[in-house]
Structures are given as C-alpha cells and as structure tokens.
Amino acid sequence: MSECGTDNPDAKPDKHVVQCNYVAPTRIARSGARAYVVLTNDGGGHDRISVRVLSRGRRWIEKWEDVRVLGNFRPKTLPPEHPQYANANDYGEIAADVAMRLNEAAERCRLGKE
C-alpha cells in the first residue's frame, strides 16, 4: 500500500463540496430537499446561487435559486463512487468557509437586510 493509502495510482480524490437543504418548498423541490452548490456569486451578493437539486420528480436538476429558500449549508465530502461526483464543484479546503458565508447571506436575505 502506498503512503496515500491506496494501491491504485489512478484513484480519483474525494471532492469537498457544499451541500444544503431547501427550507421552503418550490415548484421544483420539496422543503428539506438536498442540493449541492454549483456556483456562487463571486461579487459577494449571494442573493441567487446555482444549485443541483433532487427534484420532486426524483431527477437531478441544475438551477439558479433564491438563497432565501435554502439553508443548512455545510461542507460535505463526496467519494468518487457518489452519483453526483462528476457534477460536483470541488471547493477543496475552502468548503467550510463557503458554507459559512452562504449561511450568513441566506439569513441576511431572510431578515430583509440585503
């Protein structure tokens, strides 16, 4: 076994993503639906972000969503065998920081401060 813990040199590394849940239902997703953050607004205005969500029809859909309907942003590790691995945006070491900032932005938007 190598120092990295695997014998396969072609093994893909885990991805560090940001996962969240819908806190309010929409036409596409139920309240509580799991979603993965695809893109954030680099200008710091996180009022709308792109997410990949498991829809009511049990299909993964990528869409721009109002951050007020999302919450519980958190870092998540996806192994290569995860069904969303190929579609996931790898935030690496900053996943926890991105999740924290999105939680803060969502709360500000829900309180009407943005």
Convert the pLDDT of each residue in 43-96 to its tens digit. 555 588 999 998 999 999 999 998 889 999 999 999 999 988 998 899 999 999
Domain coordinates of the chain in residue numbers? Answer: 15-110
Task: Quote the tokens at residue 67.
Answer: 């951050």
Which amino acid is located at 21 in the chain?
N
Instruction: State if pTM tops 0.85.
Output: no
Backbone angles phi, psi at 101, to 5 degrees: -65, -40
pLDDT score, position 2: 45
d(CA 62, CA 36): 9
Q: Is the pLDDT of residue 4 over 90?
A: no
Q: DSSP 3-state assignment of 92?
A: helix
Handedness of CA 30, 49, 86, 17 (dihedral sign): negative
Backbone angles phi, psi at 38, to 5 degrees: -100, -55
Residues with Cβ within 8 Å of 105's Cβ and at least 6 positions away in sequence, in order, are: 46, 47, 67, 114
Which amino acid is located at 106 in the chain?
A
What is the CATH class of 15-110? mainly beta
